[in-house]
Amino acid sequence: MSVRVRMAPSPTGALHIGGVRTALFNWLYARNKSGEFLVRIENTDTSREVEGAVQHALDSLAWLGLDWDKPPTFQLDRLDDCRRVAEQLVADGVAYEDEGAIRFRMPDEGTTSWVDAVRGEISFPNESLEDLVLVRADGRPTYNFASPMEDVWDGITHVIRGEDHVSNTPKQINIIRAVGAELPIYAHVPNVMGSDGKKLSKRHGATGVDELRAQGYYAPALLNFLALLGWAPDGETTIMSRDALVERFSLEHVSPSPSQFDYDKLDWMNGVYLRALPVDEYADVLLAYLREQDYDWDEQLIRAAAPLVQEKIAKLGEFPAFAGFLFHDVEASVDGDGAVVAAARDALAELEPFTAEAIESALRAVLETLGLKPRQGFQPIRIAVTGSKISPGLFESIELLGRETTLARLSAAA
């Protein structure tokens, strides 16, 4: 039988890091097995639904390059089917009415167990299973009823989900058995924790895919990083393309224990991906990011600045602060006495050609004349021109800025 998996977000907010990681594992498994990856929206709790959350989740998946094979389905659409099954279960004597709701009669003795694809055998004593509400008094099915039924109807072969669902599994297994359907294989993947080992939350930093995107993380890098959270193909390989990830992914190598989200490592990996891009492509990515963030800066200048920053910044979001001086005025400031700055201005005033190479020679000559070491001499010039102690290469920056602006800033500082 061909593999079919699904991700099942509830539309209650932005897609969370843990949620995409689970989606990613589903997707990788499906692609690895040449199976299908479905998206199902679990929206039976209408009261908690957030406007636009569905589209938001789909956008996040698409941004990461996770494609789905059929139009997304909605749990609420199967309300009638669920009710019908519940009534049948009542007729069969395995469910009963209780204050307007329908409850499923869980077995009282023995155990319910399954072989989890990532954790091995898991067993629950049936006496710990409460009789479960299948259909609420208002007629809406509950999650623990609708979810397994949809898995059955959709022909889901592998239920790959977060470990918070482990304790739901014995309940769902009993329901599926009661309707006489075949059980899927279950795989419970570990949770993603914050840097202190506690549940990932706002205080750890960005927790939504949209936030990560806004900070300038590059989708392929994030994908790679997320895949390595709780999974590793071997002990050596860390940088893997989408295709390599698909080719090597397996449930057996998914770790059963929770892992911490390490922003430092993500930053490093993002830098690795960004630096590896051909310059043109890097410029495209940078430009697209800035437009997405509503910067209306000149395209040609952005493209020209791209090579100056590619090796310097790990996240696209650093660009405005790092190279913004090319696009807007800076506050005039001096570091020490203005002598070098004034001398630099004079040296550049008539310089031809106004290229990085020529600028470097001219400025080095200035330092030589003044008896300054590069470290001492270039810093005041950098601060005058860029408004910051940290910047892209000075000479290239000056060339890009142009003579007029450069001289104006040097004069203002001197």
Residues 189-228 touching RNA, rule: CB under 7 A, are: 190-191, 193, 197-199, 228
Segment 249-268, which members bind RNA (CB under 7 A)? 252-253, 255-260, 262, 264-265, 267-268
Segment 268-297, which members bind RNA (CB under 7 A)? 268, 271-272, 275
Determine the interface stretch with RNA among 31-39, 234-242, 289-297, 405-413 (rule: CB under 7 A): 234-242
DSSP 345: H
Segment 366-385, which members bind RNA (CB under 7 A)? 374-375, 378-379, 382
- Those residues whose C-beta lies under 8 Å from the C-beta of residue 58, and which sit 6 or more positions away, are 39, 72
Among 231, 282, 289, 319, binds RNA (CB under 7 A): 231
Is 202 among the residues known to form the active site?
A: yes
Minimum CB separation of residue 245 from RNA in Å reads 14
Q: 126-165 mask for RNA (x: CB under 7 A)?
A: --x-x--x--xxx-x-xxx------------------xxx
Among 13, 32, 42, 351, binds RNA (CB under 7 A): 42
Buried b (16+ CB within 10 A) or exposed e, 217-226: bbbbbbbbbb
What is the torsional sign of CA 156, 160, 162, 165?
Answer: positive
In the complex with RNA, which residue's Cβ is closer, 30 or 133?
133
Is there binding between residue 104 and RNA (CB under 7 A)? no
Is there binding between residue 166 and RNA (CB under 7 A)? yes
Radius of gyration of the chain (CA): 29
Give the chain's end-to-end CA distance (angstroms, integer).
77
CA dihedral angle for residue 79, residue 85, residue 86, residue 90, rounded to 10 degrees: 160
Minimum CB separation of residue 294 from RNA in Å reads 25
Segment 344-363, which members bind RNA (CB under 7 A)? 360
C-alpha span between 66 and 329 (Å, rounded) = 41
In the complex with RNA, which residue's Cβ is closer, 180 or 371?
371
Q: Are 117 and 186 in contact (CB under 8 A)?
A: yes
Is there binding between residue 21 and RNA (CB under 7 A)? no
Is there binding between residue 394 and RNA (CB under 7 A)? yes
Minimum CB separation of residue 236 from RNA in Å reads 5
Residue 2: Cβ-neighbour burial (10 angstroms; 0-12, 13-18, 19+): exposed
- Those residues whose C-beta lies under 8 Å from the C-beta of residue 169, and which sit 6 or more positions away, are 114, 122, 186, 188
Q: Please give the structure tokens belonging to residue 124.
A: 């629950």
Minimum CB separation of residue 358 from RNA in Å reads 13
C-alpha span between 310 and 88 (Å, rounded) = 63
Q: 43-82 mask for RNA (x: CB under 7 A)?
A: xxx--x--------------------------x-------
Is there binding between residue 340 and RNA (CB under 7 A)? no
C-alpha span between 410 and 345 (Å, rounded) = 6
Treating both helix axes as pointing N-terminal to C-terminal, what angle do 339-349 and 374-386 enclose, rounded to 10 degrees?
70
Q: Which of 70, 198, 199, 202 is catalytic?
A: 202
In the complex with RNA, which residue's Cβ is closer, 235 or 299?
235
Treating both helix axes as pointing N-terminal to C-terminal, what angle do 143-153 and 169-178 enclose, rounded to 10 degrees?
60
In the complex with RNA, which residue's Cβ is closer, 267 or 346?
267
| Nearest alpha-carbon partner for 30 in 58, 62, 7 | 7
Among 124, 186, 217, 325, binds RNA (CB under 7 A): 124
Minimum CB separation of residue 142 from RNA in Å reads 4
How many residues bind to RNA according to rule CB under 7 A? 83
In the complex with RNA, which residue's Cβ is closer, 96 or 281?
96
Active site residues: 202
